[in-house]
Amino acid sequence: MHLISGIPDQLADFARLTATAVLDTWSAAGVLQQVPGDRGRFLPVAIRVLLSCPDRPALARVRGMTPGFSGEVAEFYAKYRRGYPPPVVEALRTAFALNADDIVLDLGCGTGQLSLPLASRVRSVIGMDPEPDMLRLAGESAAGQGVRNVTWVLGGDSDVPAVGALVGRESLAMAVIGQALHWMRHEELFRTLAPLFRAGGGVAVVANGTPLWLQDCAWSQALRSCLEDHFGRRLEATCGTAAHDRRRYAEALRTAGFTNVRETVIDYGDELSIDEIIGGVYSAIPAGKLPGQEDRPAFAERIRRSLPSGPYLESVQVSVLVGRVT
């Protein structure tokens, strides 16, 4: 989000194009709506980040982004990654008493799995992600659903100070990080976010169930064995979903000054098709290691043959860890 301040020389072209898009949108939409006397009520109604940068790989190198969720991986992510059931969104609304005047930051928003259902409950959502393809697909989903109060911003956790410069202190009702905190420097992030919340606002860390290949059932164990054999290494990363991860995040929230740190768990069951399992696997493979189009049928067949007969049932446990400011 270097369009606000500190733009490196290497991003001059991108900044110029983005600034033009922002100015055009501001002209049409009336810039920012200000509630007199309350800096925290500035609403970013007109900011749009141009996602058609002519050299996305170069942009990614300059900004230090991880391009693992680009291209087809982002497409698989949008189609096959788990969404969030309504009780999860309701738990977030209740935890921070979200209302129609609030601004929410969805950090690591992906293709909008949380941004879009949250949008109907608040005034504005800022969906922020370092991967342009994720944001492109999120924007398409928003348009398809008629959602108009989500702003898609290119950036990561290191760009949160720029968001703060835009919206001001004590402006956000919530920053939600859904299945993405393991990519971030969480201790530094929590400290940076703390001054940006209104009273009663805070951080929500959402873990959306155990990865498909780490579940405690026969088909998941068979899938893990197949993938470990294919990639030649053990698959042990929990992606922030394990109990020890949540304890670590909870302690970091307390250290950063958040209070009433607590966890809510929502359980539900689902039945997956073979195609959903394979698509879920594709959504988690870095773009550089995703099997090519010509190799994909053989890879998918290998997974099919490794799995026992269905049905493929999974028990999903969604953790909502919250910490508030007073």
Residue tagged 């971030």 (tokens): 184
Instruction: State the Cα–Cα distance between residues 148 and 142, nearest whole angstrom.
Output: 7
Which residue is associated with the tokens 């609304």?
A: 93
Q: What's CA 247's distance to the chain center, in Å?
A: 21
Q: What digits encode the pLDDT tens for the residues 170-224?
A: 999 999 999 889 889 999 999 999 999 999 999 999 999 889 999 999 999 999 9
pLDDT in tens, 149-181: 998 888 889 889 888 887 889 999 999 999 889
What angle do the packed helices 243-255 and 186-193 form, to 10 degrees?
Answer: 40
Q: SS3 for 41?
A: helix
| HSE toward the beta carbon, residue 268, CA cutoff 13 A | 13
pTM score of the predicted model: 0.79
Q: How far is CA 292 from the centre of its chain?
A: 26
Q: What angle (nearest 5°) sits at the alpha carbon of residue 238, between those of residues 71 and 204?
A: 85
Determine what percent of the chain is predicted with pLDDT higher than 70.
Answer: 79
**DSSP assignment, residue 33?**
B
Distance between start and end Cα atoms, the chain: 28
Contact 134, 115 (CB under 8 A): no
